[in-house]
Amino acid sequence: MQKWFFKIFNDEDTTGQEIQDNTLREQALNRAKQAVDSEKYSAICTKYEHLTFDDYKRTKYLDLNTYLTRNVAQADRLGLLDGPPQKILDLGSGCGFFAYICGLYGHEVHCLDLPGIDIFADIMELFGLSRTEQAIKPMIRIDLPESGFDMVTGLMVKFDAIGEDDRFGPREWKFFLSDMIDNFLIPRGRIFLEFNKLPDLPLVEAANLEAFQLWGAEITGPDLGSVYLRDISIESLNTHGDNEDIL
């Protein structure tokens, strides 16, 4: 417990160069750390001191400094540290680091993730967040009471996993994107997805990369793992919707 607590609440400088060289990001990181309730955080660290081996890997999220740093950088890349208030649907929110930072900057964030992961729920509560508990499944629409989102985000995406050895293909992604456009996004809203590595699978399959590019996405990041769709519309999806080589 002490190693995580020391890194965020003492003067040890553990910020990355990416933060140190960017005043806006440094200010955001300091703001995020200062807003954390130290007593509640200490209690969470103590709670997870004696996890079983299978659960131990999730204690990495107690390193708030590392995950706040990463998500401050992501919020900045998306223009959320110095832009107008946005309404955001965050899919696969995990512990809520991204949503927490966005909330500090006046954005309204609706979180969605799977139930049953206690450390996620505890850190979300630490941040004052709530979430809708729901799985995202292929070819099934998401059931949410809200709409009118300016942006849909998915950071470290794994919800596209189908079993242990497959991921969504272009058909599943077109269905998912159509659901976001029809039911949740404002006209010409934005979708940003950053994929998480699955064993023995590429971050984004070649057929998916081609489909995303046909739909107007910017593909960036290490191993082409970030997909950014600006001004997304049904028309842009349908433009190439009958391409049998892709779909």
pLDDT by residue (tens digit) across 129-153? 999 999 999 999 999 989 999 999 9
What's the Cα-to-Cα distance from 163 to each of 138, 193, 201, rounded to whole Å? 11, 20, 12
92, 228, 88: which is closest to 149 by C-alpha?
88
Residue 236 clears pLDDT 60, i.e. is over it: yes
CA Rg value for the chain: 19
The pLDDT, as a whole number, for residue 246 is 54
The pLDDT, as a whole number, for residue 176 is 97
d(CA 2, CA 45) in angstroms, rounded, equals 8
pLDDT by residue (tens digit) across 152-207? 999 999 999 987 778 999 999 999 999 999 999 999 899 999 999 888 788 888 99
Through-space distance between the first and last CA atoms of the chain, rounded to whole angstroms = 49
Tell me the pLDDT band of 227, cut-offs 50, 70 and 90: very high
pLDDT by residue (tens digit) across 53-94? 555 567 889 999 999 999 999 999 999 999 999 999 999 999
Q: Is the pTM of this model over 0.85?
A: yes
DSSP state of 62: G
In sequence order, the 6+-apart residues with CB closer than 8 A to the CB of 61 are 67, 94, 95, 119, 120, 123
Tell me the pLDDT band of 6, cut-offs 50, 70 and 90: very low
Residue 18 clears pLDDT 90, i.e. is over it: no
